[in-house]
Amino acid sequence: MKFVFNPSPNYHSGSSTREIMNELSCGLLAVFAFSVVNQAVQHGIGNVIHLCVMMAAGVATAILTELAWAKWVLKTEPVAYVKSSFGWITAIILVMMMPINMSIYPVIVGTIFAIVIGKLVFGGFGSNIFNPAAAGCAVIFSYFSTSRAADIVTSATPTSLISGSFGWVVSDPAVANQFLSQFGGLGGLAVGFYDGSIGETCALLLLVVGVVLSVVDCIDWRIPTFYLGAIFVFSWIYGAVLGMGMWYPVFHLLTGGAVFGAVFMLTDPVTNPTTFAGKVVFSIGAALLTVLIRVRGSLPEGVLYSILLMNMLVPWIERVCSGIQYKDIKKYTLITVVTFLAGCALMFGVGIAKKNQLAETAVTANNNIAVVETMTVTE
């Protein structure tokens, strides 16, 4: 009998890694096609050209980097290596996460970083710890945030607006309505003709692609489902404490790459846990970090860093959750339920804290006004 040893992902669904990756590429192409249309409709041909140049630069850099690595470092057959390493998927996902006015040079540097440091030095496809595209994006966002292409038209994104002007809290329904109407309401946010990271705007299309990919067994349906569900519940709790309506959790789901990250990044079979319970815990943890970074962190957007942080915890999750799932079903159910409830409790506490903080600032503001008034009266 002949045993075949491969690094993970080891599927037993009959489809090979190559088929899965081809299906994933098709899904990404559909999303890319929408973003081309989005840019053309909103800002005209100049943005479309820039978008295509960015994508071409990213994919070319990824393939050239892997060719060079195979030829000079590994000294193997370069073309075969590149074909089995799927670097272009990393590049496409990375470009999809960029804002449209990012200049080309950071994309190239970020792609090289993603491919070499994020993937190849760990041993290539199947051996990486972090999601390579997320690693590359983190580098670009941390060190090239000021590097922008000059002549590209863009407007503020929903996430940057709500975090910049409101700190993710809009208690007044009238203000909320006015804010949402800029993007055509929640429906407009779902359809996606607004500015955001290139691939993240059309939540509907992303969901359809996600469902199709799940049906053909390309991605694991459990991760997006639990991730998006947990984001919904956590942000609902936070919003309910602060007196915001049902639009708030929906807004959390529709903006800022939550659906994109759920479908294309968290499901990366290499960097998520292998067991059912592990995947659920992983998704809930990522959702909690996403919401926490958004509402309490200084960054406008939390999907990227939540993915990287949860990638780091995967070995630990594996140790807690590995085992025969149906045999110890009670134990694994307990682990996932406890994780979920702990997340809910944490969000509730964070909401209360924010409420107190807001009340305090309001009181001081009122006092100041009162002081000013008394001063004017005495004068």
Partner 1 sequence: MEEKKPSFLQSLILENPVFSLYLGICSILGVSTSLDNAVGMAALVFLVLLFSNIVVSLIRKITPGEIRIPVYIVIIATLVSVAEMFIKAYMPSLYASMGSFISLVVVNCIILGRAEACASKNDVLTSIKDACVMGAGYFVAIFTISVIRQFLSTGGWSFANPLTLKTIFDIKIIPEQFTIGLFGKPVGAFVTFGLLAALFAGYKQNHEAKLAQAAKEAKAAAAAAAKEAK
Residues that bind partner 1 (CB under 8 A): 105, 109, 113, 117, 121, 139, 142-144, 147
Q: How far is the CB of 161 from partner 1 (least distance, A)?
A: 27
Characterise 130 by phi-psi region: left (phi > 0), alpha (psi -120 to 50), beta (else).
beta
Report in angstroms how near the CB of residue 371 gets to partner 1 at its nearest: 44
Kindly state the smallest distance separating residue 144's Cβ from partner 1, in Å.
8
Backbone angles phi, psi at 148, to 5 degrees: -125, 145
Measured on CA atoms in the order 342, 345, 350, 353, is the torsion positive or negative? negative
CB of 308 to partner 1, least distance (A): 13
Within the chain, how many helices (H) and strands (E) appear?
Answer: 16, 0
Give which of 369, 363, 344, 362 is closest to 171, Cα–Cα: 362
Q: Which is nearer to partner 1, 121 or 352 (CB)?
A: 121
Q: Which is nearer to partner 1, 139 or 287 (CB)?
A: 139
Select 121 or 369, whichever has its Cβ closest to partner 1.
Answer: 121
In whole angstroms, how close is the CB of 258 to partner 1 at the nearest point?
26
The whole-angstrom separation of Cα 264 and Cα 258 is 10
| Residue linked to tokens 């009181």 | 363
Is 113 or 227 the residue whose CB approaches partner 1 more closely? 113
Quick one: CA dihedral 292, 298, 303, 306, positive or negative? Answer: negative
Nearest to partner 1 of 25, 103 (CB atom): 103
Residue 169 structure tokens:
């809290």
Measuring CA to CA, how many Å separate 120 from each of 142, 146, 216, 309?
Answer: 22, 28, 28, 20
Which of 136/192 has CB closer to partner 1? 136
Q: Which residue has the tokens 């691939």?
A: 199
**80, exposed or middle or buried, with CB in 10 Å at 0-12, 13-18, 19+?**
exposed
Q: Which is nearer to partner 1, 150 or 174 (CB)?
A: 150
Closest contact distance (angstroms) between CB of 157 and partner 1 is 24
CB of 94 to partner 1, least distance (A): 15
